[in-house]
Structure 1
Amino acid sequence: MHDCFGDVDRVPALLERVEREDDAEAWQELGYRLCLENDLVSPVSFAALPHLVRLASGDSRARVLAGTIVRCAGGHGYDELLAGCAETIAEFGVLLDRHLRSRPTDYVVAFLDLLAAKGQYHWSAGLDGFADDSYHLACPHCDAEVTIAIGDYGRYSAIRDWNLGDIDRRDLRPAAPERLSGIGRWMYETATRDGQEALADGITHLLGDGECPRCASVFNIADEYTFATCPGR
Protein backbone atom coordinates (compact mmCIF):
# COMPACT_ATOMS: atom_id res chain seq x y z
CA MET A 1 0.00 0.00 0.00
CA HIS A 2 1.15 3.51 -0.85
CA ASP A 3 1.01 6.27 1.74
CA CYS A 4 0.15 9.92 1.01
CA PHE A 5 3.65 10.44 -0.45
CA GLY A 6 3.61 7.33 -2.63
CA ASP A 7 6.00 5.29 -0.48
CA VAL A 8 5.27 1.71 0.61
CA ASP A 9 7.85 1.08 3.31
CA ARG A 10 7.94 4.16 5.56
CA VAL A 11 4.71 3.69 7.55
CA PRO A 12 5.56 0.19 8.86
CA ALA A 13 9.00 1.42 9.89
CA LEU A 14 7.56 4.48 11.60
CA LEU A 15 4.97 2.40 13.46
CA GLU A 16 7.76 0.19 14.75
CA ARG A 17 9.67 3.26 15.95
CA VAL A 18 6.75 4.81 17.86
CA GLU A 19 5.84 1.49 19.44
CA ARG A 20 9.43 0.96 20.52
CA GLU A 21 10.24 4.41 21.89
CA ASP A 22 8.90 7.93 22.50
CA ASP A 23 9.97 9.41 19.16
CA ALA A 24 8.41 12.81 18.44
CA GLU A 25 10.02 13.05 15.00
CA ALA A 26 8.61 9.67 13.97
CA TRP A 27 5.12 10.68 15.19
CA GLN A 28 5.30 13.87 13.14
CA GLU A 29 6.29 12.06 9.95
CA LEU A 30 3.69 9.36 10.57
CA GLY A 31 1.00 12.03 10.78
CA TYR A 32 2.05 13.52 7.43
CA ARG A 33 2.08 10.14 5.72
CA LEU A 34 -1.22 8.88 7.11
CA CYS A 35 -3.24 12.09 6.88
CA LEU A 36 -1.65 14.69 4.65
CA GLU A 37 -2.42 18.24 5.84
CA ASN A 38 -5.15 16.79 8.09
CA ASP A 39 -7.27 16.25 5.00
CA LEU A 40 -6.08 13.52 2.63
CA VAL A 41 -6.04 9.86 3.64
CA SER A 42 -4.99 6.75 1.73
CA PRO A 43 -5.53 2.98 2.03
CA VAL A 44 -2.45 2.67 4.24
CA SER A 45 -4.15 5.04 6.71
CA PHE A 46 -6.81 2.40 7.30
CA ALA A 47 -4.24 -0.37 7.50
CA ALA A 48 -2.51 1.56 10.28
CA LEU A 49 -5.71 2.18 12.29
CA PRO A 50 -5.56 -1.06 14.37
CA HIS A 51 -2.01 -0.20 15.42
CA LEU A 52 -2.98 3.37 16.33
CA VAL A 53 -6.08 2.32 18.28
CA ARG A 54 -4.00 -0.22 20.21
CA LEU A 55 -1.61 2.59 21.19
CA ALA A 56 -4.33 5.20 21.75
CA SER A 57 -5.24 4.26 25.32
CA GLY A 58 -1.74 5.17 26.45
CA ASP A 59 -0.65 7.80 23.95
CA SER A 60 -2.66 10.90 23.07
CA ARG A 61 -0.78 11.29 19.78
CA ALA A 62 -2.09 7.93 18.59
CA ARG A 63 -5.62 8.83 19.67
CA VAL A 64 -5.54 12.19 17.88
CA LEU A 65 -4.07 10.71 14.69
CA ALA A 66 -6.61 7.87 14.63
CA GLY A 67 -9.40 10.40 15.16
CA THR A 68 -8.13 12.59 12.33
CA ILE A 69 -8.06 9.63 9.94
CA VAL A 70 -11.61 8.59 10.84
CA ARG A 71 -12.92 12.13 10.49
CA CYS A 72 -11.26 12.66 7.10
CA ALA A 73 -12.29 9.27 5.72
CA GLY A 74 -15.97 10.14 5.47
CA GLY A 75 -15.49 12.60 2.65
CA HIS A 76 -13.22 10.64 0.32
CA GLY A 77 -15.31 7.71 -0.91
CA TYR A 78 -13.60 5.05 1.20
CA ASP A 79 -16.79 3.22 2.19
CA GLU A 80 -15.32 -0.23 1.50
CA LEU A 81 -12.16 0.46 3.51
CA LEU A 82 -14.22 1.92 6.35
CA ALA A 83 -16.38 -1.20 6.38
CA GLY A 84 -13.25 -3.33 6.63
CA CYS A 85 -12.23 -1.35 9.73
CA ALA A 86 -15.66 -1.45 11.38
CA GLU A 87 -14.53 -3.51 14.36
CA THR A 88 -11.49 -1.32 14.96
CA ILE A 89 -13.56 1.87 14.67
CA ALA A 90 -16.12 0.48 17.14
CA GLU A 91 -13.28 -0.27 19.57
CA PHE A 92 -11.97 3.26 19.03
CA GLY A 93 -15.44 4.63 19.80
CA VAL A 94 -15.45 2.89 23.18
CA LEU A 95 -12.02 4.34 23.95
CA LEU A 96 -13.15 7.85 22.95
CA ASP A 97 -16.27 7.65 25.09
CA ARG A 98 -14.15 6.64 28.08
CA HIS A 99 -11.85 9.58 27.34
CA LEU A 100 -14.81 12.00 27.22
CA ARG A 101 -16.01 10.85 30.64
CA SER A 102 -12.72 12.09 32.10
CA ARG A 103 -13.66 15.63 30.91
CA PRO A 104 -10.32 16.25 29.15
CA THR A 105 -9.05 19.60 27.90
CA ASP A 106 -9.45 18.38 24.30
CA TYR A 107 -13.09 17.43 24.91
CA VAL A 108 -14.55 18.99 21.76
CA VAL A 109 -11.96 17.37 19.47
CA ALA A 110 -12.60 13.93 21.00
CA PHE A 111 -16.37 14.54 20.80
CA LEU A 112 -16.09 15.26 17.07
CA ASP A 113 -13.87 12.19 16.60
CA LEU A 114 -16.52 10.05 18.28
CA LEU A 115 -19.22 11.49 16.02
CA ALA A 116 -17.10 10.46 13.03
CA ALA A 117 -16.58 7.00 14.53
CA LYS A 118 -20.37 6.75 14.65
CA GLY A 119 -20.54 7.63 10.95
CA GLN A 120 -21.93 11.13 11.62
CA TYR A 121 -19.43 12.90 9.37
CA HIS A 122 -21.50 15.98 8.59
CA TRP A 123 -22.00 16.71 12.31
CA SER A 124 -18.34 15.96 13.01
CA ALA A 125 -17.36 18.54 10.40
CA GLY A 126 -20.05 21.05 11.36
CA LEU A 127 -19.55 21.52 15.10
CA ASP A 128 -16.74 23.55 16.58
CA GLY A 129 -17.61 24.00 20.24
CA PHE A 130 -20.05 26.90 19.69
CA ALA A 131 -17.65 29.69 20.63
CA ASP A 132 -18.31 31.32 17.26
CA ASP A 133 -19.99 28.76 14.98
CA SER A 134 -21.90 29.87 11.89
CA TYR A 135 -23.86 28.01 9.22
CA HIS A 136 -24.90 29.38 5.85
CA LEU A 137 -28.14 27.82 4.71
CA ALA A 138 -30.67 28.46 1.98
CA CYS A 139 -34.16 29.25 3.26
CA PRO A 140 -36.33 26.34 2.10
CA HIS A 141 -39.20 28.75 1.32
CA CYS A 142 -37.65 31.75 -0.45
CA ASP A 143 -34.10 30.48 -1.12
CA ALA A 144 -32.48 33.46 0.62
CA GLU A 145 -29.04 32.75 2.10
CA VAL A 146 -29.48 32.79 5.85
CA THR A 147 -26.62 32.87 8.33
CA ILE A 148 -27.19 30.89 11.53
CA ALA A 149 -24.90 32.09 14.31
CA ILE A 150 -24.41 30.11 17.53
CA GLY A 151 -21.70 31.40 19.81
CA ASP A 152 -20.52 33.97 22.27
CA TYR A 153 -21.90 36.77 20.08
CA GLY A 154 -25.43 35.42 20.12
CA ARG A 155 -27.74 32.74 18.83
CA TYR A 156 -29.64 34.11 15.87
CA SER A 157 -30.49 33.91 12.19
CA ALA A 158 -29.55 36.88 10.00
CA ILE A 159 -28.70 38.09 6.53
CA ARG A 160 -24.94 38.51 6.33
CA ASP A 161 -23.85 41.76 4.73
CA TRP A 162 -20.09 41.94 4.20
CA ASN A 163 -20.13 45.70 4.85
CA LEU A 164 -22.71 45.94 7.63
CA GLY A 165 -22.25 42.53 9.26
CA ASP A 166 -25.20 40.37 10.31
CA ILE A 167 -28.38 42.38 9.80
CA ASP A 168 -32.06 41.79 10.60
CA ARG A 169 -31.29 39.31 13.36
CA ARG A 170 -33.93 36.90 14.62
CA ASP A 171 -33.49 34.86 17.80
CA LEU A 172 -33.18 31.11 17.33
CA ARG A 173 -35.72 28.79 18.91
CA PRO A 174 -33.84 25.97 20.66
CA ALA A 175 -35.16 22.42 20.62
CA ALA A 176 -36.60 21.09 23.86
CA PRO A 177 -34.11 18.47 25.13
CA GLU A 178 -36.89 16.00 26.01
CA ARG A 179 -38.07 16.04 22.39
CA LEU A 180 -34.71 15.21 20.85
CA SER A 181 -34.16 11.81 19.25
CA GLY A 182 -31.50 9.83 17.42
CA ILE A 183 -28.02 11.29 17.10
CA GLY A 184 -29.26 14.67 18.33
CA ARG A 185 -30.36 13.16 21.62
CA TRP A 186 -27.05 11.31 21.92
CA MET A 187 -25.07 14.52 21.34
CA TYR A 188 -27.05 16.46 23.91
CA GLU A 189 -27.07 13.72 26.55
CA THR A 190 -23.33 13.02 26.16
CA ALA A 191 -22.40 16.69 26.49
CA THR A 192 -24.72 17.05 29.50
CA ARG A 193 -23.35 13.89 31.11
CA ASP A 194 -19.85 15.28 30.91
CA GLY A 195 -20.70 18.76 32.23
CA GLN A 196 -20.21 20.51 28.87
CA GLU A 197 -22.97 23.08 29.32
CA ALA A 198 -21.99 25.41 26.46
CA LEU A 199 -21.76 22.49 24.04
CA ALA A 200 -25.12 21.07 25.17
CA ASP A 201 -26.81 24.47 24.86
CA GLY A 202 -25.35 25.01 21.39
CA ILE A 203 -26.62 21.61 20.30
CA THR A 204 -30.21 22.48 21.32
CA HIS A 205 -30.00 25.65 19.21
CA LEU A 206 -28.48 23.82 16.24
CA LEU A 207 -31.25 21.24 16.41
CA GLY A 208 -33.93 23.90 16.89
CA ASP A 209 -35.65 26.33 14.52
CA GLY A 210 -34.56 29.50 12.79
CA GLU A 211 -36.56 32.28 11.16
CA CYS A 212 -35.75 33.59 7.70
CA PRO A 213 -35.27 37.38 7.92
CA ARG A 214 -36.48 37.78 4.30
CA CYS A 215 -39.78 35.90 4.30
CA ALA A 216 -40.30 35.29 8.05
CA SER A 217 -40.81 31.56 7.51
CA VAL A 218 -39.57 29.17 10.20
CA PHE A 219 -37.46 26.12 9.38
CA ASN A 220 -35.58 23.43 11.27
CA ILE A 221 -31.87 24.24 11.21
CA ALA A 222 -30.66 20.64 11.51
CA ASP A 223 -32.88 19.50 8.63
CA GLU A 224 -31.57 22.19 6.31
CA TYR A 225 -27.96 21.65 7.38
CA THR A 226 -28.30 17.91 6.80
CA PHE A 227 -29.86 18.54 3.38
CA ALA A 228 -27.04 20.93 2.45
CA THR A 229 -24.22 18.65 3.59
CA CYS A 230 -25.77 15.26 2.71
CA PRO A 231 -27.78 16.00 -0.46
CA GLY A 232 -28.08 12.31 -1.32
CA ARG A 233 -29.86 11.43 1.92
Structure 2
Amino acid sequence: MKWGRPYVLRTAELLPVLLDQVEAGVGSESVWRELWTMLCIEGETLVPGSLAALPRLVALARSETQALEMAGAIVRSAMTDDQGERMFVESPDAIAELRELVDQRLQTRPADYIWGFRTLLAIEGQFHWSAALGDFSDDFYEVACPHCSLNVTMAIGGYGYHSACRDWDAGDVDRRDLRPASVAELDGMGRWMHNLAVRDGQDRLAEGITYLMGCAECPRCASVFRIADEYAAANLPPLLSVRLARSKID
Protein backbone atom coordinates (compact mmCIF):
# COMPACT_ATOMS: atom_id res chain seq x y z
CA MET A 1 0.00 0.00 0.00
CA LYS A 2 1.28 3.46 -0.91
CA TRP A 3 0.84 6.19 1.67
CA GLY A 4 0.32 9.83 0.71
CA ARG A 5 2.94 12.41 1.67
CA PRO A 6 0.59 14.29 4.07
CA TYR A 7 -0.08 11.07 6.01
CA VAL A 8 3.62 10.19 6.18
CA LEU A 9 4.54 13.68 7.38
CA ARG A 10 1.76 13.72 9.98
CA THR A 11 2.83 10.32 11.29
CA ALA A 12 6.50 11.33 11.47
CA GLU A 13 5.56 14.45 13.45
CA LEU A 14 2.86 13.09 15.75
CA LEU A 15 3.94 9.53 16.50
CA PRO A 16 7.00 10.39 18.66
CA VAL A 17 4.87 12.84 20.65
CA LEU A 18 2.20 10.24 21.37
CA LEU A 19 4.77 7.63 22.35
CA ASP A 20 6.50 10.15 24.62
CA GLN A 21 3.19 10.72 26.38
CA VAL A 22 2.43 7.06 27.05
CA GLU A 23 6.02 6.43 28.14
CA ALA A 24 5.72 9.29 30.61
CA GLY A 25 2.49 7.80 31.95
CA VAL A 26 0.36 10.72 30.83
CA GLY A 27 -1.20 9.09 27.79
CA SER A 28 -5.00 9.22 27.99
CA GLU A 29 -7.38 6.75 26.41
CA SER A 30 -7.69 9.11 23.45
CA VAL A 31 -3.91 8.95 22.96
CA TRP A 32 -4.04 5.15 22.80
CA ARG A 33 -6.93 5.34 20.32
CA GLU A 34 -4.87 7.69 18.16
CA LEU A 35 -1.95 5.26 18.25
CA TRP A 36 -4.20 2.38 17.26
CA THR A 37 -5.60 4.42 14.38
CA MET A 38 -2.13 5.49 13.27
CA LEU A 39 -0.26 2.19 13.58
CA CYS A 40 -2.79 -0.60 13.18
CA ILE A 41 -5.16 0.28 10.38
CA GLU A 42 -7.73 -2.55 10.24
CA GLY A 43 -5.32 -4.49 12.43
CA GLU A 44 -3.60 -5.98 9.41
CA THR A 45 -1.63 -3.34 7.51
CA LEU A 46 1.83 -2.04 8.30
CA VAL A 47 1.97 1.72 8.14
CA PRO A 48 4.76 4.32 8.16
CA GLY A 49 6.16 4.44 11.66
CA SER A 50 5.42 0.81 12.59
CA LEU A 51 9.06 -0.25 12.49
CA ALA A 52 10.26 2.67 14.60
CA ALA A 53 7.41 2.27 17.10
CA LEU A 54 7.79 -1.46 17.70
CA PRO A 55 10.78 -1.41 20.14
CA ARG A 56 9.18 1.39 22.16
CA LEU A 57 5.85 -0.43 22.31
CA VAL A 58 7.54 -3.67 23.41
CA ALA A 59 9.29 -1.80 26.23
CA LEU A 60 5.92 -0.38 27.29
CA ALA A 61 4.32 -3.82 26.98
CA ARG A 62 5.98 -4.92 30.23
CA SER A 63 3.32 -2.91 32.06
CA GLU A 64 0.80 -1.74 29.45
CA THR A 65 -1.63 -4.29 27.99
CA GLN A 66 -2.54 -2.01 25.09
CA ALA A 67 1.11 -1.71 24.09
CA LEU A 68 1.44 -5.51 24.11
CA GLU A 69 -1.64 -5.90 21.94
CA MET A 70 -0.50 -3.16 19.57
CA ALA A 71 2.97 -4.65 19.19
CA GLY A 72 1.37 -8.02 18.49
CA ALA A 73 -0.88 -6.51 15.82
CA ILE A 74 2.13 -4.92 14.14
CA VAL A 75 4.06 -8.19 14.05
CA ARG A 76 1.05 -10.10 12.72
CA SER A 77 1.00 -7.61 9.84
CA ALA A 78 4.69 -8.03 9.10
CA MET A 79 4.37 -9.94 5.85
CA THR A 80 1.92 -7.61 4.15
CA ASP A 81 4.67 -5.64 2.42
CA ASP A 82 8.43 -5.23 2.21
CA GLN A 83 8.61 -3.52 5.61
CA GLY A 84 7.99 -6.86 7.28
CA GLU A 85 11.34 -8.36 6.37
CA ARG A 86 13.08 -5.26 7.75
CA MET A 87 11.23 -5.57 11.03
CA PHE A 88 12.65 -8.99 11.78
CA VAL A 89 16.14 -7.97 10.64
CA GLU A 90 16.31 -4.59 12.38
CA SER A 91 14.50 -5.33 15.66
CA PRO A 92 15.50 -8.87 16.74
CA ASP A 93 15.76 -7.93 20.42
CA ALA A 94 12.30 -6.37 20.45
CA ILE A 95 10.84 -9.39 18.65
CA ALA A 96 12.50 -11.76 21.14
CA GLU A 97 11.18 -9.79 24.12
CA LEU A 98 7.71 -9.61 22.61
CA ARG A 99 7.75 -13.36 22.20
CA GLU A 100 8.63 -13.80 25.88
CA LEU A 101 5.93 -11.38 27.04
CA VAL A 102 3.24 -13.01 24.91
CA ASP A 103 4.28 -16.47 26.09
CA GLN A 104 4.09 -15.32 29.70
CA ARG A 105 0.58 -14.02 29.07
CA LEU A 106 -0.49 -17.32 27.51
CA GLN A 107 0.62 -19.19 30.62
CA THR A 108 -1.94 -17.20 32.62
CA ARG A 109 -4.62 -18.78 30.37
CA PRO A 110 -6.33 -15.48 29.49
CA ALA A 111 -9.82 -15.32 28.00
CA ASP A 112 -8.31 -14.10 24.71
CA TYR A 113 -5.85 -16.99 24.56
CA ILE A 114 -6.15 -17.40 20.80
CA TRP A 115 -4.90 -13.81 20.32
CA GLY A 116 -1.58 -14.65 21.97
CA PHE A 117 -1.36 -17.99 20.22
CA ARG A 118 -1.78 -16.35 16.82
CA THR A 119 0.75 -13.66 17.75
CA LEU A 120 3.36 -16.30 18.63
CA LEU A 121 2.67 -18.00 15.30
CA ALA A 122 3.43 -14.73 13.52
CA ILE A 123 6.64 -14.28 15.50
CA GLU A 124 7.62 -17.80 14.39
CA GLY A 125 6.99 -16.81 10.76
CA GLN A 126 3.80 -18.88 10.48
CA PHE A 127 1.72 -16.04 9.07
CA HIS A 128 -0.70 -18.30 7.19
CA TRP A 129 -1.71 -20.00 10.46
CA SER A 130 -1.64 -16.73 12.38
CA ALA A 131 -4.19 -15.27 9.97
CA ALA A 132 -6.46 -18.31 9.72
CA LEU A 133 -6.33 -20.28 12.95
CA GLY A 134 -9.36 -20.07 15.21
CA ASP A 135 -10.20 -21.79 18.46
CA PHE A 136 -11.86 -24.69 16.63
CA SER A 137 -15.32 -23.80 17.81
CA ASP A 138 -16.40 -23.61 14.14
CA ASP A 139 -13.27 -23.50 11.95
CA PHE A 140 -13.41 -24.05 8.19
CA TYR A 141 -10.47 -24.39 5.80
CA GLU A 142 -10.62 -24.64 2.03
CA VAL A 143 -7.97 -26.13 -0.24
CA ALA A 144 -7.80 -27.50 -3.75
CA CYS A 145 -7.44 -31.26 -3.94
CA PRO A 146 -3.86 -31.86 -5.16
CA HIS A 147 -5.08 -34.66 -7.43
CA CYS A 148 -8.27 -33.40 -9.10
CA SER A 149 -8.27 -29.68 -8.13
CA LEU A 150 -11.73 -29.79 -6.55
CA ASN A 151 -12.21 -27.08 -3.92
CA VAL A 152 -12.57 -29.10 -0.73
CA THR A 153 -13.93 -27.58 2.49
CA MET A 154 -12.75 -28.98 5.84
CA ALA A 155 -14.82 -28.40 8.97
CA ILE A 156 -13.07 -28.71 12.33
CA GLY A 157 -15.15 -27.97 15.40
CA GLY A 158 -18.79 -27.47 16.24
CA TYR A 159 -20.00 -28.31 12.73
CA GLY A 160 -18.13 -31.60 12.70
CA TYR A 161 -14.82 -32.98 11.55
CA HIS A 162 -15.20 -33.66 7.87
CA SER A 163 -14.19 -32.79 4.33
CA ALA A 164 -16.97 -31.95 1.88
CA CYS A 165 -18.05 -30.16 -1.25
CA ARG A 166 -19.47 -26.78 -0.27
CA ASP A 167 -22.88 -26.08 -1.77
CA TRP A 168 -24.29 -22.70 -0.81
CA ASP A 169 -27.85 -24.04 -0.90
CA ALA A 170 -27.40 -27.57 0.43
CA GLY A 171 -24.43 -26.89 2.72
CA ASP A 172 -21.58 -29.37 3.01
CA VAL A 173 -22.39 -32.38 0.84
CA ASP A 174 -20.68 -35.73 0.30
CA ARG A 175 -18.96 -35.54 3.65
CA ARG A 176 -15.93 -37.66 4.48
CA ASP A 177 -14.57 -38.02 8.02
CA LEU A 178 -11.24 -36.32 8.66
CA ARG A 179 -8.34 -38.45 9.85
CA PRO A 180 -6.57 -36.72 12.73
CA ALA A 181 -2.85 -37.15 13.25
CA SER A 182 -1.86 -38.98 16.38
CA VAL A 183 0.25 -37.04 18.84
CA ALA A 184 3.18 -39.31 17.95
CA GLU A 185 2.82 -38.35 14.28
CA LEU A 186 3.03 -34.62 14.90
CA ASP A 187 6.29 -32.96 13.97
CA GLY A 188 7.70 -29.53 13.24
CA MET A 189 5.25 -26.67 13.67
CA GLY A 190 2.37 -29.04 14.27
CA ARG A 191 4.10 -30.51 17.32
CA TRP A 192 5.07 -27.03 18.55
CA MET A 193 1.49 -25.80 18.28
CA HIS A 194 0.07 -28.88 19.98
CA ASN A 195 2.61 -28.83 22.82
CA LEU A 196 1.86 -25.17 23.52
CA ALA A 197 -1.89 -25.76 23.65
CA VAL A 198 -1.45 -28.79 25.92
CA ARG A 199 0.90 -26.89 28.23
CA ASP A 200 -1.72 -24.22 28.75
CA GLY A 201 -4.68 -26.54 29.17
CA GLN A 202 -6.33 -25.60 25.87
CA ASP A 203 -7.85 -29.00 25.17
CA ARG A 204 -10.12 -28.03 22.26
CA LEU A 205 -7.28 -26.18 20.56
CA ALA A 206 -4.94 -29.14 21.03
CA GLU A 207 -7.49 -31.56 19.60
CA GLY A 208 -8.24 -29.29 16.64
CA ILE A 209 -4.56 -29.12 15.78
CA THR A 210 -4.41 -32.91 15.44
CA TYR A 211 -7.18 -32.69 12.82
CA LEU A 212 -5.57 -29.73 11.07
CA MET A 213 -2.30 -31.66 10.86
CA GLY A 214 -4.11 -34.82 9.79
CA CYS A 215 -5.53 -35.98 6.48
CA ALA A 216 -8.67 -35.39 4.44
CA GLU A 217 -10.32 -37.41 1.70
CA CYS A 218 -11.42 -35.68 -1.49
CA PRO A 219 -15.18 -36.15 -2.05
CA ARG A 220 -14.70 -36.35 -5.84
CA CYS A 221 -11.66 -38.56 -6.44
CA ALA A 222 -11.29 -40.16 -2.98
CA SER A 223 -7.60 -39.32 -2.82
CA VAL A 224 -6.18 -38.60 0.64
CA PHE A 225 -3.98 -35.60 1.35
CA ARG A 226 -2.45 -33.79 4.33
CA ILE A 227 -4.57 -30.74 5.13
CA ALA A 228 -1.76 -28.61 6.57
CA ASP A 229 0.57 -29.23 3.62
CA GLU A 230 -1.98 -28.12 1.05
CA TYR A 231 -3.22 -25.16 3.07
CA ALA A 232 0.29 -23.87 3.80
CA ALA A 233 1.36 -24.25 0.16
CA ALA A 234 -1.64 -22.22 -1.01
CA ASN A 235 -1.48 -19.51 1.65
CA LEU A 236 2.16 -18.69 2.37
CA PRO A 237 2.61 -14.91 2.12
CA PRO A 238 4.83 -14.01 -0.88
CA LEU A 239 7.61 -12.56 1.27
CA LEU A 240 7.63 -15.61 3.52
CA SER A 241 7.84 -17.86 0.48
CA VAL A 242 10.89 -15.90 -0.67
CA ARG A 243 12.45 -16.17 2.81
CA LEU A 244 11.93 -19.95 2.88
CA ALA A 245 13.40 -20.30 -0.60
CA ARG A 246 16.48 -18.32 0.46
CA SER A 247 16.92 -20.46 3.57
CA LYS A 248 16.95 -23.60 1.43
CA ILE A 249 19.60 -22.09 -0.83
CA ASP A 250 21.73 -21.01 2.14
Shared fold per TM-score greater than 0.5: yes
Q: Distance in 2 between matches of 1:44 and 1:55?
A: 16
- 2:159 corresponds in structure 1 to 153
Aligned length in residues: 233
Q: Which amino acid aligns with 1:28?
A: R
**Mapped pair 1:134 → 2:148:** no
Is the Cα–Cα contact under 8 Å of residues 141 and 155 in structure 2 kept in the other structure?
Answer: yes
The within-5 A match list for 1:1-233 is 5-6=7-8, 7=10, 8-19=12-23, 20-78=25-83, 79-230=85-236, 232=241
Is the Cα–Cα contact under 8 Å of residues 45 and 80 in structure 2 kept in the other structure?
Answer: no
Q: Which amino acid aligns with 1:13?
A: V
Q: 1:225: how far off?
A: 0.4
Is the Cα–Cα contact under 8 Å of residues 4 and 36 in structure 1 kept in the other structure?
Answer: no
Is the Cα–Cα contact under 8 Å of residues 70 and 116 in structure 1 kept in the other structure?
Answer: yes
TM-score where L is the length of structure 2 = 0.89
5+ long unaligned stretches in structure 1? none
Q: Distance in 1 between matches of 2:6 and 2:44?
A: 11
Over 3 Å counting, the alpha-carbon distance change for 1:85 and 1:146 in structure 2 is: same
Q: 1:73: how far off?
A: 1.1
Larger CA deviation: 3-12 vs 44-53 = 3-12
Q: Which runs of 4+ in 1 moved over 4 A?
A: none
Q: 1:59: how far off?
A: 1.4
Over 3 Å counting, the alpha-carbon distance change for 1:40 and 1:30 in structure 2 is: same
TM-score where L is the length of structure 1 = 0.95
Q: 1:167: how far off?
A: 0.5
5+ long unaligned stretches in structure 2? 245-250
Q: Distance in 2 between matches of 1:27 and 1:11?
A: 11
Q: Distance in 2 between matches of 1:130 and 1:121?
A: 18
Over 3 Å counting, the alpha-carbon distance change for 1:3 and 1:149 in structure 2 is: farther
Percent identity over paired residues:
49
Over 3 Å counting, the alpha-carbon distance change for 1:4 and 1:144 in structure 2 is: farther
Larger CA deviation: 36-45 vs 161-170 = 36-45
Is the Cα–Cα contact under 8 Å of residues 46 and 74 in structure 2 kept in the other structure?
Answer: yes
